């Protein structure tokens, strides 16, 4: 998709070439072409409605009127071909108002939104949060993600990875702003469910109450379906509840957001195992027409080393975390070794510490930089006193009787292996050592537990033991059965499961309405475009990234209280207004190029716009050189950079940031608005016409000419012979 020219843009360019070429000598053909081009342009600009495509279809038919010239028919055939092949892209442009190829410049999406697996309209809700409109922000987020509060605390934030602000200083702290808005809206009783459609009488069964299941249930309920969620655990949330420890995600957050889903009429059956307590057959008989499987990946991989099965104190991290989450607060041992390098390993280690373990070591076979765990998590673990043993391959769990005494390990070195882009740890012979331990927690990954899934007999599984789906629609190979979340991806993230659940909900609706499934993956929707938040260049530059206040380390080593305490309101508003609004400015760099190369002024220091080779950015530098000529604004396709005249001020603004501001001067003679003094100097320097007599006065061009002419007449009378 991204590497090819967008078919919508292609249509516009093709038609404009045809019209300009003069080959269209037939007036009717020319008229049809101009009308189609107009419609296609509107689609490319996000100004199209749902009727645009059918209007284009019927216009294309008009090309083939009796005795229509051959060039008309050629265009008709060509356009029909483009439309048949890429119909989804046209529909997607109309519906999502995003063009991922960036060819339709006005629909170029923001990188954060494209990075989000659930496709949240991030710039819009940041704009709302900056203005203190938290409930509206939550409403926008929940169109793509029903759990903004949960994600605001624990999301792996792929959006921040792509944040353009990072090229100036640090990414906008997108993740937490959501949590603040959700908490504030919840507290203000302004966190509301959207209006749901009238009940359509169809029933859907969701297996698993994790993020994928909850997400699908939410969107299906909104569409008017009756949804029942089957959950084997006594609590909602799946891995969010039993995998993520409470010091990262308090239970109340999950409970409150799940309560919002229940309010929509979704039924949750807890302590109910699919295939045991309820069967596929029985559910089908009850009238459930579609099934959504989001059972997660809860089974731990074995370490495959000696001693693993002999000692009771060799614990699987997922089981350990689940027991703790369900209330069994028992310390695993005094000296705990956790094997693994992912977030689960860190969670298990930090949980052990909070339960009273004296020493906790994480043994990982690669080095720090290769750890899949979040860097913040690793840092927080270190602050709490957890030790790391890198390049450590566990060899054997040693002990006496039933008691572990240590973990026998080998030192490893990292070697580049052919055909792999990840460095492989290779044991160094003879470099054995023992880490003292009385408990060993294995956290080397999970897989999907397929127990009870055999009833879905036509459903295929991948080689990795996950459910095979079409990723555009989340359909399994069995009609009427859909799947998402870790059960499809293997252990992954909450936000991916939420995105998958949402996609599945849409496909289930299409399946039950007999509409064919999409052929291409859904593109995130630009719900609206908020006006950018206005502020001075100095403020935009100097807004310091918010610092997360943390619980004291002593508390963190002893209790399950939330570690990240959250920003105060002022920091939240400030942080949200650091956003550069990449949904409006697509960073094509044309303004910079024109100002520097064409005008020779070089007032725009916007190095962040260059993706490959970012140079320095300083919004404040513009006012030093800018002559307010407006060439940048005239060439900005998206109206991201604009010149505005209001309240006696002339301002150059880039997405709300005031790059330059001047008092407007008026003509002394006729009171007309004058361009800036720097601009007039720029012109007179170029033309070399020092308007001597009038240069001391503020005059518009017309008055200058008029007065100049009078002066000429009086000082240079016509020579009469």
Site residues for another protein per CB under 8 A: 594, 598-600, 629-631, 634-635, 675, 679-680, 682-683, 686-689, 701, 705
Which is nearer to another protein, 565 or 634 (by Cβ)? 634
Q: Nearest distance from residue 2's CB to another protein, in Å?
A: 27
With 0-12 / 13-18 / 19 or more C-beta atoms within 10 angstroms meaning exposed / middle / buried, residue 671 is: exposed
Q: How far is the CB of 718 from another protein (least distance, A)?
A: 19
Considering the complex, what minimum distance in angstroms separates the CB of residue 629 from another protein? 4
User: DSSP strand E in 517-648: where?
Assistant: 535-536, 641-646
Q: Cβ(616)–Cβ(624) under 8 Å?
A: no
Which residue's CB is nearer to another protein, number 106 or number 411? 106
Q: Would you say 286 or 602 has its CB closer to another protein? A: 602
Element (H, E) at 339: strand 335-339
Give one DSSP letter per residue of 29-52, joined into a string. Answer: HHHHHHHHHHHHHHHHTT---TTH
Pick the closer one to another protein by CB: 31 or 431: 31
| Cβ 234 vs Cβ 271: under 8 Å | yes
Minimum CB distance to another protein smaller for 22 or for 327: 22
Reduced to 3 states (helix: H, G, I; strand: E, B; else coil), residue 263 is: helix
Backbone angles phi, psi at 461, to 5 degrees: -115, 150
For 710, the 3-state DSSP assignment is: helix
DSSP secondary structure letter of residue 164 = G
- Cα dihedral angle (583, 45, 117, 572), rounded to 10 degrees? 20
Least CB distance to another protein at residue 566 (A): 46
CA 309 to chain centroid: 43
* Residue 622 CB, nearest approach to another protein (Å): 16
Residue nearer to another protein on the CB measure, 132 or 708: 708
Comparison of 405 and 635: residue with beta carbon closer to another protein: 635
Instruction: Report, in Å, the least distance between residue 673 CB and another protein.
Output: 12
Could you count the other beta carbons within 10 Å of the beta carbon of residue 292?
31
CB of 683 to another protein, least distance (A): 5
Please give the Cα distance from 637 to 116 (Å, whole number).
Answer: 26
3-state SS track over 454-523: HHCCCCCECCCCCECCECCCCECCCCCEEECCHHHHCCCCHHHHHHHHHHHHHHHHHHHCCCCCCCCCCC
Task: Return the number of the residue (525 or 594) whose C-beta is nearest another protein.
Answer: 594
User: Could you tell me the smallest distance in angstroms from the CB atom of residue 16 to another protein?
Assistant: 12
Measured distance CA(421)–CA(417) in Å, rounded? 8
Q: Closest distance between another protein and the C-beta of residue 593, in Å?
A: 9
Smaller CB separation from another protein, 326 or 634: 634
In terms of CB distance, is 584 or 680 closer to another protein?
680
Q: Please, are residues 148 and 176 in contact by the beta-carbon 8 Å criterion?
A: no
Residue 70 CB, nearest distance to another protein (Å)?
25
Exposure class string for 639-665: b at 16+ Cβ within 10 A, else e:
ebbbbeeeeeebbbbbbbbbbbbbeeb
Query: Cβ distance 261 to 194 under 8 Å?
Result: no
Residue 331: C-alpha distances to residues 310, 336, 339, 461, 558 (Å):
20, 9, 17, 38, 12
Of the pair 415, 634, the CB lying nearest another protein is at 634
Q: Closest approach of Cβ 643 to another protein, in Å? A: 11
């Amino acid at each position: 998709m991204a590497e090819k020219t967008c078919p919508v843009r292609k249509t516009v360019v093709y038609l404009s070439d045809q019209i300009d070429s003069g080959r269209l000598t037939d007036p009717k053909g020319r008229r049809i072409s101009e009308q189609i081009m107009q419609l296609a342009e509107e689609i490319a600009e996000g100004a199209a409605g749902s009727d645009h495509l059918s209007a284009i279809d019927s216009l294309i038919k008009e090309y083939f009127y009796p005795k229509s010239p051959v060039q008309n028919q050629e265009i008709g055939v060509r356009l029909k071909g483009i439309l048949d092949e890429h119909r989804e892209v046209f529909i997607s442009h109309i519906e999502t108002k995003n063009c991922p190829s960036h060819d339709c410049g006005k629909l170029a999406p923001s990188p954060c939104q494209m990075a989000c697996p659930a496709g949240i309209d991030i710039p819009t809700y940041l704009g709302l949060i900056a203005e203190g409109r938290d409930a509206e922000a939550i409403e926008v987020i929940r169109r793509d993600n029903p759990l903004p509060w949960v994600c605001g605390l624990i999301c792996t934030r792929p959006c921040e990875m792509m944040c353009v602000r990072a090229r100036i200083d640090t990414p906008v702290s997108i993740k937490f702003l959501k949590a603040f808005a959700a908490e504030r809206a919840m507290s203000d009783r302004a966190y509301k469910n959207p209006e749901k459609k009238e009940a359509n009488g169809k029933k859907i069964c969701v297996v698993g109450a994790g993020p994928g299941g909850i997400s699908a249930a939410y969107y299906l309920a909104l569409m008017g379906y009756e949804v029942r969620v089957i959950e084997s655990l006594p609590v909602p949330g799946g891995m969010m509840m039993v995998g993520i420890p409470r010091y990262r995600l308090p239970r109340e957050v999950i409970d409150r957001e799940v309560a919002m889903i229940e309010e929509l009429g979704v039924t949750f059956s807890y302590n109910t195992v699919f295939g045991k307590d309820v069967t596929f057959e029985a559910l089908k008989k009850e009238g459930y027409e579609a099934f959504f499987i989001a059972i997660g990946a809860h089974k731990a991989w074995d370490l495959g080393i000696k001693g693993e099965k002999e000692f009771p104190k060799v614990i699987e991290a997922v089981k350990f975390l689940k027991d703790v989450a369900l209330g069994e607060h028992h310390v695993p041992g005094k000296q705990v070794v956790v094997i693994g390098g992912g977030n689960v390993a860190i969670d298990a280690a930090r949980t052990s510490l909070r339960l009273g373990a004296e020493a906790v070591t994480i043994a990982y076979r690669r080095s720090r930089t290769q750890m899949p765990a979040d860097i913040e998590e690793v840092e927080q673990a270190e602050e709490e006193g957890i030790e790391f043993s890198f390049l450590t391959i566990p060899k054997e769990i040693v002990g006496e009787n039933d008691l572990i005494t240590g973990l026998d390990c080998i030192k490893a070195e990292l070697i580049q292996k052919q055909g792999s882009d990840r460095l492989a740890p290779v044991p160094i012979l003879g470099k054995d050592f023992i880490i003292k331990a009385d408990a060993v927690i294995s956290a080397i990954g999970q897989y999907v537990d397929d127990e009870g899934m055999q009833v879905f007999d036509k459903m295929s599984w991948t080689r990795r033991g996950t459910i095979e789906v079409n990723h555009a629609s989340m359909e399994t190979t069995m009609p009427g059965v859909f799947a998402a979340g870790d059960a499809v991806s293997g252990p992954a993230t909450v936000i991916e499961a939420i995105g998958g659940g949402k996609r599945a909900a849409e496909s289930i609706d299409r399946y039950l309405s007999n509409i064919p499934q999409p052929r291409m993956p859904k593109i995130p929707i630009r719900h609206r475009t908020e006006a950018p938040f206005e502020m001075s260049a100095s403020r935009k530059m100097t807004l310091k990234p918010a610092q997360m206040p943390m619980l004291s380390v002593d508390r963190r080593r002893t209790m399950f209280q939330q570690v990240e305490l959250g920003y105060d309101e002022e920091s939240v508003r400030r942080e949200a207004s650091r956003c550069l609004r990449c949904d409006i400015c697509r960073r094509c760099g044309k303004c910079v190029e024109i100002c520097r190369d064409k005008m020779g002024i070089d007032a725009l220091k916007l190095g962040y716009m260059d993706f490959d080779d970012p140079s320095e950015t300083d919004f404040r530098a513009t006012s030093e050189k800018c002559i307010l000529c407006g060439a940048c604004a005239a060439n900005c396709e998206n109206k991201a950079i604009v010149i505005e005249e209001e309240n006696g001020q002339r301002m150059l603004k880039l997405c709300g940031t005031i790059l330059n501001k001047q008092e407007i001067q008026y003509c002394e003679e006729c009171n007309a608005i004058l361009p800036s003094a720097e601009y007039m100097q720029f012109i007179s320097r170029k033309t070399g016409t020092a308007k001597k007599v009038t240069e001391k006065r503020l005059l518009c061009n017309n008055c200058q000419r008029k007065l100049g002419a009078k002066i000429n007449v009086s000082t240079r009378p016509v020579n009469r012979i």
